[in-house]
Structure 1
Amino acid sequence: MDGLMNESFVDFVGGVQLHPGEGTRTAVPVILIGICVSGAVGNLLVMLILYREFGRARGSEVKALLAAVAATDLAILLLCAPVRALTYYRQSWTLGSLVCSTADWFQHACVAAKTLTLAATTRAKHNPVAVPTGGAKRPPRLRATWIHGALALIWTFSVMFPVPQFLFASLQTRGADTFICVSAPPACAADFMSLFYKVYPALTFALPAAFTLAYYVKTLHAAVNHAAAPRSGARQRQSKVTLVLLCASGANALLLLPEWSAFTWTRLGFHKPPVGLAIFAQVLLYSSSCAIPAILMTMYDDVRRGVVVVWFASTCRGARNASCGNRCPAKSEENGAELGGAREEGGDDKAESNELEKNFPDVEHFWTGRRNTHVEDDQDPVPWEREEKML
Structure 2
Amino acid sequence: MDINRPANVSFFDFIGGVQLLQGEDTRTAMPVILIGICVSGAVGNLLVLLIFIRDFRNGKGSEVKALLASLASTDLVILLLCAPVRAITYYKQSWTLGSFVCSTTDWFQHSCVVAKTLILAATTRAKHTLVPSTGSGSFSGPTWIHGALAFIWIVSMMFPLPQMLFAALVPHGRDKICVSEMPVCASDFMSLFYKIYPTATFVVPVIFTLAYYTKTLHAAVNHEPSPQHQSKVTLVLLCLSGALGLMLLPEWGTFTWIRLGYNKPPVGLIIFAQVFLYACSSLSPVVLMTMYDDVRQGLIAIWFIATCRGSKQLPNNNTTKKNKKCTKTEGNGAEVGANAVANAVSGGDTEKEKTIPDVEHFWTGRRNTQIEEEQDPVPWEREEKML
TM-score (norm 1): 0.76
Work out whether 1:242 is the aligned partner of 2:234: yes
Query: Matched residues in 1 for 2:25 and 2:257: separation?
Result: 25
Partner of 2:115: 113
Say if 2:118 and 2:152, in contact at 8 Å, map to a contact too: yes
Say if 2:132 and 2:140, in contact at 8 Å, map to a contact too: no
Query: Matched residues in 1 for 2:131 and 2:186: separation?
Result: 52
The size of the alignment, in residue pairs, is 315
Work out whether 1:68 is the aligned partner of 2:70: yes
From 53, 56, 59, give the equivalent of 1:54.
56
1:94-105 to structure 2, matched below 5 A, reads: 94-105=96-107
Amino acid at match of 2:273: A
1:222-237 to structure 2, matched below 5 A, reads: 222-227=219-224, 236-237=228-229
Query: Matched residues in 2 for 1:5 and 1:262: separation?
Result: 19
Partner of 2:34: 32
- Please state how far the C-alpha of 1:78 moved relative to its aligned partner: 0.5
Q: Deviations over 1:196-239 (max 9, x none)?
A: 11111111111000100000000011111233xx66xxx60000
Partner of 1:359: none
Query: Matched residues in 2 for 1:5 and 1:293: separation?
Result: 42
TM-score (norm 2): 0.77
Work out whether 1:273 is the aligned partner of 2:271: no
Q: Deviations over 1:215-266 (max 9, x none)?
A: 0000011111233xx66xxx60000000011111111111101100110111
Say if 1:266 and 1:272, in contact at 8 Å, map to a contact too: yes
From 229, 250, 253, give the equivalent of 1:258.
250
After superposition, the Cα gap between the structure-2 partners of 1:73 and 1:131, relative to the gap in structure 1 and judged at 3 Å, is closer
After superposition, the Cα gap between the structure-2 partners of 1:85 and 1:319, relative to the gap in structure 1 and judged at 3 Å, is farther
Query: Matched residues in 2 for 1:71 and 1:80: separation?
Result: 13
Partner of 2:14: 12
Structure 1 unaligned blocks of 5 or more: 133-140, 327-337, 349-391
Secondary structure at 2:170 match in 1: strand
1:97-176 to structure 2, matched below 5 A, reads: 97-129=99-131, 142-175=140-173
Secondary structure at 1:170 match in 2: strand
Query: Matched residues in 2 for 1:75 and 1:5: separation?
Result: 34
Structure 2 unaligned blocks of 5 or more: 327-387
From 174, 183, 197, give the equivalent of 1:186.
183
Query: Matched residues in 1 for 2:247 and 2:39: separation?
Result: 19
Say if 1:241 and 1:300, in contact at 8 Å, map to a contact too: yes
Q: Identical aligned pairs, as a percentage?
A: 66
4+ aligned runs moved over 3 Å, structure 1:
5-10, 129-132, 317-321
Say if 2:131 and 2:141, in contact at 8 Å, map to a contact too: no
- Please state how far the C-alpha of 1:186 moved relative to its aligned partner: 1.6
Secondary structure at 2:122 match in 1: helix
26-35 vs 260-269, which moves further = 260-269
Amino acid at match of 1:254: L
Query: Matched residues in 2 for 1:289 and 1:109: separation?
Result: 14
